[in-house]
Structure 1
Amino acid sequence: MEDLSIQNVNLEKSENLERHRTEGFSSSDALVVRRGAPFKISLQLKGRPFNPRTDTIRIKVMLGRLYVIMPVTYSQKKVSSSQWKAYIDPECLNLQNPSIFICSPASASVGCYKFQLCVFTHDQQQKCAFGKFILLCNPWCPEDAVYIPFEDQREEYVQNDSGLLFMGTHMNPVSRPWSFDLYEPDVLETCLNLLQISPQHQKNRRVDYLNRNNPVYISRVVSAMINCEDDRGVLKGNWSSDFKQGVNPSMWTGSGDILKQWAQTGYSPVKYGQCWVFAAVMCTVMRVLGIPCRVVTNFNSAHDTNNNLLIEEYYTETGQKLNNSKDSIWNFHIWVECWMSRRDLGSGMDGWQVLDPTPQERSGGVFCCGPAPVKAIKDRRIDLLYDVPFVYAEVNAAVHTIVVSQGRVISLSKDTERVGSLICTKAIGFSRLQNITGDYKYVKSPSSTLKSRSSTISEDSTIRRAGPSEGVQVFLNLDKAPVAGEPITFTVKVINKQKVNKMMKVHLNAQAKEYNHRPSEELKTFWETHGVIQLAPMEVKVLNQQILPAQYKDVMGDKMINLAVVLQDTASQEHALASEEFNIASPELTIKIADEDSAVPNKEQVATVSFTNPYSHPVSGVLTVAGAGLIQGKVQFRMLPLYPGRRVEQRITFTPTTVGTKMLQASLSLTNFSPTIRGFKMVSINNA
């Protein structure tokens, strides 16, 4: 009889992908599996059958130059997840096509492995075959450091390839759809290559491979590699208004285009990113690598440059905001949280960890941030790794609002609730916001994030020291969340706290600003009004104000509005200020799908995208529609001028390729007009 030889090794991809929850990566050439769980390979033998008494099998698994050799045993016992094992189930042994189960440790390093399988016959002749597999972290394995206990969390934070990013202000959060594109062609390979071209890998490959068993290490490498400040990272940041050399960050709709461009240009940084782009791309990479991840928004995020937990903001005596401080408050800042145990810190710090790839401050000499345990931030454990003090300040710094005149401080007030007023993420399984502020800080009351901004003359101010009077108190309150095309209406409430008549000068102004306003930028005043009011003793007076669409139309889009009121007592020269920053919500596109309940793979579906022009002038532009797993690439349509109040509809067709919940998203870029109009629709694709 002809001697035994190996004809083929079957990686059993469909069975393994289903068992390891990696079906989405079926387009990859390699087998994609998760650590700590067995995967099956089958030998196709030629010649005589396998003889368990005289033939032995050894498997050599290699990651770079690291390797382990293991004998194939015969055992039905539970396989330990602490070391590499290979075994044959004797009850299912097919001697002509034996199946072997390979199981990696739950702490194995992430990466692309090669394996060599050798059969030694009774005369010690060696028959070999080769293969490869990609090994990811395993949130389903209790022994894995990234284990997350509930299936709905794993579906949302590991497998979901679309989501929402929250922007705007805490008073008026705006959800922006984002396609994480986990399963798009070449995204998996690009995420693995990100680890390969990192400085850590280039410096010492062996040490890097060994350290890749630890999600803390992986997350710091990825955090640094998303920006390009210290390496050949993915994105170049740009917070100016000049994007001629690249793409305006607001135009990105998903991670796939960014990662593909990065890979196709030889890993040259993609231009440009801002915080939400950095965070969303990092979320893609972490989910691909098997580490649970979610995108988090911190509204009124402090950048405390001198680490004194104090942000100073300066205004003129007529309410114009000045650029006098190196500290800053971003209306929103977006980072990610990753779920992992912190064996380096103790079990009390397990769970969600803040990681921030936006280049702001160096950590260990490199532009990265985290992982900082959310529990450590809440308890102010600033002695713990990594970067807890920086994140703590982002959500807890106090704000001193200072009014100056001719170089002299004439009013000072303190606000301890503005910074970190709302911290949120996408809710599990729903397209809505989940408030997680209480995870980061001890919240006084649920309504604290919705309070109107008010000001009194403080104990420390020069006004207060001028005499025993209690002066006046002023409140500034928006009547409702501003919407494009409608007047911005607000009220100014003035309280005379003295038993004397007062004549008050009233200064109101609105300035356009970027969400991350920095000291070097000029704020543009686009609306102001001034007047005088009389206050009777102890009188409360309410002033109703509005800013018309024609007055704010040039500052729409991603701009923020700083609205301020300053009161001046003409007799005592006392001042009081109140301010509020807000965004103007853009209108949305509406997407409707015909026969939505019958959506199945490989069956053409019809969707209708509609838009009604709320503006006071005609608009035109380009409509772009995309959807991972629904549409190949993007489709675009040119929209002719649409007059005020008129509605337009665009019919599109798409053919789903895979089962699951997918996001169909549309964006309308208007010509010579800054807002981008967006909309999305979640589509459930069922088995046929």
Structure 2
Amino acid sequence: MDEFKLRNVNLQQVQNQIRHRTDGLSSSTLVLRRGQPFTILMNYDGRPFDPLKEKLVFRIVLAGPLFVEVPVSMSGQPSPSQWSAILERSVPAPNAPRTMSVSLFSPASSSVGVYTFHLRVETRLSVKTHLLGQFTLLCNPWCQADSVFLPSEDLRNEYIRNDIGLLFKGSPGSVVSRPWSFDQYETGILDICMKLLQLSPQYQTDMRKDLVNRSNPVYIGRVISAMVNCQDDKGVLMGNWSGDYSNGVNPSNWSGSADILRMWSETQFRPVKYGQCWVFAAVMCTVMRALGIPTRVVTNFNSAHDTNGNMVIEEFYSEMGEKLSIGRDSIWNFHVWVESWMKRPDLGQGYDGWQVLDPTPQELSAGMYRCGPAAVKAIYEQKVDALYDVPFVYAEVNADVCSIIMRDRTILATNVDKKRVGALICTKRPGSMLMQDITSEYKTEMMVGTTARMFSADVRGGEGANGRGAPQGIAVSLQLLKAPVVGENISFSVTITNKEAIPKLLRKHVNAQNKEYNRNPTGPFWEAHDDLTIGPNKTVTVNHEIFFKEYMLKEVMEDYLVNLAVVIEDVKSQERVLASEEFNICSPALNIQIQNEHSVIINTQQVATVTFTNPFNVAVSGELTIAGSGLLEEKVQMRVMIQPRETMRSPVRFIPRMTGAKMLHARLVLMNLSTVLRGFKTINVQAA
């Protein structure tokens, strides 16, 4: 009878990827999750396979000297700690190739990476080796033995499989939700994420050590945190907070990760220009989800950057109420990072779960611009000796703010606010497009600040830095009279209370300054100064209005942020009291309507209409861009001009390519009003 002779091997890519929940991920290889068996079919000619006469050995190679040889056994259970291959069945068929089914199993502690595998067939007469191809091995949050195991199916779907999300920006009293497409299913994105690991300094310096360490999500998180920015390596994004983006892309114009990752790959891994914190975090979320590590994007409002580690952020104001750019410490209106879910055996019991990772290049961590993973539980428990970078993140959410009024380097008055920093920490709620407040995961109730829109300074008692007591009888507060919207005037009131039984002559200084979310503001664009007399135990309210033309910026900005401050000076005592508030001016939203919203079927043409009514007193023009991963093959772009009070209606045809929750999002960049308008619509695509 003829010798056993292998004809071909079927890797069963479709079936295996469905079982491994990697269906939809686009790669040049089979994509698998560790800790879970996969099945291949081997067709052969000749007599039936006889394990006494033939020996089958898989050789699974990660790189160079890192390989394992796995003989095929006839029966048994896979070992949880090592690779195994078990013959499931051998199917003889008359006049047809014989088929064997073999189940291969990878340990849950296997390294993430691209593997090559071969099959060696040893018979009595020959030894032949067959190249079977490659497979990409990812972490497996569905496997209890994996260090990224997540017990809830709903959370696994949200933090691994979901490719749409919201990023939160603005201010704690006026949160703006910004749509983002993570794009992990887009063509070639998974391969680019694997290339990112290969280009890391760790891999380039010691390939063997890096590949072995890739079994650990803590290690992977630190590598990715450094590689998303380009400070120390061939990383993906270059940061830019200058306001000048003329030789790159304004960070506000990105709406998804695929464009950024593809641009990085197609330019031979030159850094993409430009990113800011939410862009860095969103791209990192894409990479981590693609690698199989549950990840969510988190926003910390009033985020402290404590450069000297003293847990106090000093803010300086002139006696006229102008905020001054003095000192290196700062408070970002919002700062965006990611949390990834993993075990932390290096920290002992109790620190598994969500870990902060921050790819925005701020401070060095062990010689590289990266941050984390810092266990959220360690931040909550103030365990500042825990790895990695817990003190820095702890300060971001807990530092005190000391406001100082100065004249010619002399301190006139101080006030300490212990609740402003970390006023709100939030993420997208699983299964919906709403916000979830997670502040209490970082801070105890006593540490949680208020998110009220009004910030009052009633500084009675305590000593000023000049040795004099703080004002005893004056209280002042600022309050916005309505939510500011781009194109409208800003209306606010200043309320002053005289708490003493004598009249007072006061000087009032009010300043408004444009600012970017991560730094101190520029010079005042609007100010008002006047004197007033206030009677004993009286309260006076003064209303102010700032016209749109006074705050309108020249360059295109997604976030109009304003620092508003008032200093009240008691003319007789020369004592001063300060109240301030930073707020965002929201842009009007685009509206998206779906023609048959409740019956969107895969591979069937649908129609969406983007509408916008121009609320401004002038005609506006700009570029409208509509995108949707899994819905549109390419972005739709068009120039538009809309007269005052006119309604734009722009229909878009699309054919869904994937089932499940998808998102169509639109962006209109207005040129003559220098602002960005956005809108999004989630769509549930059903099977045919």
Shorter chain as denominator, the TM-score bin is: over 0.9
Write the distance in 1 (CA, Å) between the matches of 2:128 and 2:243: 66
Counterpart check, 1:618 vs 2:619: yes
* Deviation by residue 1:194-215 (Cα, 9 ceiling, x = unmatched): 0101111011111111000000
Greater Cα offset, 477-486 or 299-308: 477-486
Q: Tell me the residue number matched to 2:145.
A: 143
Aligned AA for 2:32?
V
SS at match of 2:450: helix
Assess if the C-alpha contact under 8 Å between 1:6 and 1:127 holds in 2.
no
CA contact (8 A) 1:411 1:458 kept: no
C-alpha displacement of 1:219: 0.6
Structure 2 residue aligned with 1:601:
602
| Counterpart for residue 379 of structure 2 | 377
Does the residue aligned with 1:669 lie in a helix, a strand or coil? strand
How many Å separate the matches in 2 of 1:350 and 1:579? 39
Maintained 8 Å contact 2:627/2:665: yes
The CA distance in 1 between the partners of 2:469 and 2:290, in whole Å, is: 64
Q: TM-score, normalised by structure 1?
A: 0.96
Query: What does 1:461-540 correspond to in 2, within 5 Å?
Result: 461-462=463-464, 466=468, 470-518=472-520, 523-540=522-539
- Larger mean CA deviation between 451-460 and 85-94 belongs to 85-94
Distance, in Å, in 2 between the alignment partners of 1:438 and 1:554 is: 37
Identical amino acids, percent of aligned pairs:
51
Which range moved further: 125-134 or 204-213? 125-134
Residue number in structure 2 paired with 1:574: 575
Q: Deviations over 1:523-573 (max 9, x none)?
A: 131222222332222222222333233332337642310001111112212
8 Å contact kept, 2:251–2:279: yes
Given the alignment, which residue of 220, 223, 227 partners 2:222? Answer: 220
**What is the deviation of 1:388?**
0.3
Q: Distance in 2 between matches of 1:190 and 1:498?
A: 68
Specify whether residues 129 and 575 from structure 1 end up closer, same or farther in structure 2 by C-alpha distance, changes over 3 A only.
closer
Q: How does 1:60-99 map to 2 (within 5 A)?
A: 60-65=59-64, 66-75=66-75, 77=77, 79-90=78-89, 96-99=98-101
Instruction: State the Cα distance separating 1:503 from its structure 2 match.
Output: 1.8
Q: Describe the shift of the 1:91–1:498 C-alpha distance in structure 2 as closer, same or farther (beyond 3 A).
A: farther
Q: Secondary structure at the match of 1:392?
A: helix
Unmatched tracts of structure 2, length 5 or more: none
Answer yes or no: is the 8 Å Cα contact 2:461–2:469 preserved in 1: no
Aligned amino acid, residue 400 of structure 2 = A
2:351 corresponding residue in structure 1: 349
Counterpart for residue 455 of structure 1: 457
Measure how far apart 1:447 and its partner are. Answer: 7.5
How far apart in 1 are the matches of 2:635 and 2:105?
40
Task: Work out whether residues 5 and 127 of structure 1, in 8 Å CA contact, stay in contact via their aligned partners in 2.
Answer: no
Q: Secondary structure at the match of 2:24?
A: helix
In the TM superposition, 1:23-34 aligns within 5 A as: 23-25=23-25, 27-34=26-33
The separation in 2 between residues aligned to 1:447 and 1:178, in whole angstroms, is: 28
Residue type at the aligned position of 1:331: N
In structure 1, give the amino acid aligned to 2:535: A
CA distance in 1, matches of 2:316, 2:453: 21
- Paired with 1:260 and 1:3, the residues of 2 have a C-alpha distance of 49
Question: Offset at 1:280?
Answer: 0.6
Partner of 1:12: 12
Q: State how 1:275-286 maps to structure 2 within 5 Å.
A: 275-286=277-288
Distance in 2 between residues matched to 1:248 and 1:485, nearest whole Å: 22
Closer, same or farther: CA 93–687 of 1 in aligned 2, 3 Å = farther
What is the CA–CA distance in structure 2 between the aligned matches of 1:481 and 1:148, rounded to whole Å? 40
The corresponding residue for 2:650 is 650
Closer, same or farther: CA 244–561 of 1 in aligned 2, 3 Å: same
* 1:385-437 deviation line (CA, Å, top 9, x unaligned): 00000000111100000111232211110101111101111110111111111
For 2:458 and 2:665, the matched residues in 1 are separated by 46
Q: Which residue number corresponds to residue 443 of structure 1?
A: 445
Q: Is the 8 A contact 1:237 1:274 kept in 2?
A: yes
- Partner amino acid for 2:479? N
- Distance of 1:552 and 1:237 partners within structure 2: 26
Segments of structure 1 that go 5 or more residues without pairing to the other structure are none
Please give the alpha-carbon distance, in whole angstroms, between the structure 1 residues aligned to 2:448 and 2:412.
Answer: 33
Could you report, residue by residue, the CA deviation over 1:300-344 in whole angstroms, capped at 9, with x for unpaired residues? Answer: 111111100000101111111101121101101111110000011
**In 2, Cα distance between equivalents of 1:458 and 1:410:** 15
Cα distance, 1:164–1:93 mapped onto 2, change above 3 Å? farther
Q: CA deviation at 1:152?
A: 0.9
1:254: how far off? Answer: 0.7
| Partner deviation per Cα, 1:43-91 (whole Å, 9 max, x = no partner) | 01123332244333211111002011111123354x3322111112259
> How far apart, CA to CA, are the structure 1 residues paired with 2:6 and 2:348?
49
Which amino acid counterpart does residue 248 of structure 1 have in structure 2? N
Task: Rate the CA distance shift 1:646–1:677 in 2: closer, same or farther, 3 A.
Answer: same
8 Å contact kept, 1:412–1:457: no
Contact 1:457 1:575 in 2 (8 A): no
Asked if 1 retains the 8 angstrom alpha-carbon contact of 2:507 and 2:568, the reply is yes
State the AA in 1 paired with 2:431.
G
Name the counterpart of 1:102. 104
The one-letter code of the counterpart of 1:9 is: V
Counterpart contact for 2:160–2:292, Cα < 8 Å? yes
What is the rounded CA distance, in whole Å, between the counterparts of 1:483 and 1:45 in structure 2?
71
Work out whether residues 140 and 149 of structure 1, in 8 Å CA contact, stay in contact via their aligned partners in 2.
Answer: yes
**Correspondences of 1:304-319 after superposition (within 5 Å):** 304-319=306-321
Amino acid in the other structure paired with 1:112: V
Paired with 1:31 and 1:468, the residues of 2 have a C-alpha distance of 69
In structure 2, distance between residues paired with 1:19 and 1:383 = 42
Cα distance in structure 2, aligned partners of 1:149 and 1:400: 43
Cα RMSD after superposing both structures: 1.9
Q: Secondary structure at the match of 2:119?
A: strand
Closer/same/farther in 2, CA of residues 463 and 85 from structure 1, 3 Å limit: closer
Cα distance in structure 1, aligned partners of 2:469 and 2:76:
87
Look up the match of 1:358: 360
Deviations 1:659-678, CA, capped at 9 Å, x for gaps:
11111111001123321111
The count of aligned residue pairs is 682
